[in-house]
Amino acid sequence: GLLGASNYITVKQAAAAYYNALGDVALAEQQPVAAQEYYKLSVEYEFQQHRANYGLAQLALTRNDAVTAGFHFQQALLKQPTPQAA
C-alpha cells in the first residue's frame, strides 16, 4: 500500500509540474488568463507547491487583488519555505 501511495504522489507532482510549465509558457506569451488557469490546474494536483502559488499570487497582484495574492503566498509557505520566502 505504501509503495502505491508513494508512486501516486510522484504522478501528482509530475502533473503539477506539467501545468506549471504550461502556465510559464502562457505568461511568456503574454496570456495571463491562460496562465492563471494552468496554475490553478497545477494547484489541484499539488496544493502546497511553490511555483503555481507564487504565479497565482503574482497574477492576483497585477489585478490589485491583495486578498487572493495573500492566500496564495500563504499556501506557498506551507511546504518547506526558504528563508528568502518567509
Residue 8's pLDDT is: 81
pLDDT above 70 as % of the chain: 86
* Euclidean distance between CA atoms 1 and 25, whole angstroms: 37
Mean pLDDT of 71-83: 83
SS3 80: coil
Residue 78's pLDDT is: 85
Which has more pLDDT, 75 or 85?
75
Residue 19's pLDDT is: 97
Mean pLDDT of 51-60: 95
Residue 69's CB: how many other CB atoms inside 10 A?
20
CB 54 within 8 A of CB 43: no
- Band of the pLDDT at 48, cuts 50, 70, 90? confident
The pTM assigned to this predicted structure is: 0.83
